[in-house]
Structure 1
Amino acid sequence: MTRHLARLQFRAGGPAVEGEWTAPATAQERYTEWVGLYGTDPAVVIQLVEESDGHETVRKTWTAQGEVEGPGT
């Protein structure tokens, strides 16, 4: 089963707040919402993640510098 996650960290490497859904569109909506709410904070990292069979793939990463598609820091 594939899980779709939106992950929010208020500092890189810090604790994360996550939401998990089976529908990718729902995870994308939450990711977009968090970018709008927290995306200008220079310390915040927001990720859209796909997890399947214990393996995570980062689809998008947002920092105050903008969005990166694919694996990000």
Structure 2
Amino acid sequence: MLITPPRGTVRFHVSMTFTPGGPKVEGTWEAEESAVNRFRGFIGTHGSDDVTITLWAEADGIRRRLRTWTKDHGDASRRAVGGLRSSPAGVSARGM
């Protein structure tokens, strides 16, 4: 059985890709703080070579990339679009 979150619900995803186009792991959190902590934790434990770590926000089935980390470029924050906007910490939240 598929469970669809109610409209307007924001979920946060962290993905870690080991090589470009290669395998990845991903997790989903309801709490933004938990997802940010996992994003930072992955950088500390797996941040090397070809690894790319990305934090996403998803609302109404649309994903917005919030932050991406690579060894060459470090932590790059992005301004979110369409109902999600960046907070001073560089992580987005709805309705701020």
- Give the TM-score normalised by the residue count of structure 1: 0.87
| 1:5 aligned onto 2:28 | no
The structure number with the bigger radius of gyration is 2
Q: Which runs of 5+ in 1 are unaligned?
A: none
- Residue 56 (structure 2) aligned to one of 40, 44, 49: 49
- Paired residues in the alignment total 70
RMSD: 1.3
Matched with 2:22 is 14
| 1:25 aligned onto 2:33 | yes
Q: Which has the higher contact order (CA 8 A, sep 6+)?
A: 1
Where does structure 1 differ by over 4 angstroms across 4 or more consecutive aligned residues?
none
Percentage of pairs with the same residue: 34
How far, CA to CA, are the matches of 2:55 and 2:49 in structure 1? 18
Instruction: Specify the code of the residue in structure 2 equivalent to 1:51.
Output: E
Q: Which runs of 5+ in 2 are unaligned?
A: 1-8, 80-96
Matched with 2:69 is 62
- Which one has the bigger strand percentage? 1
| 1:38 aligned onto 2:46 | yes
- Give the TM-score normalised by the residue count of structure 2: 0.68
- Which one has the bigger helix percentage? 1
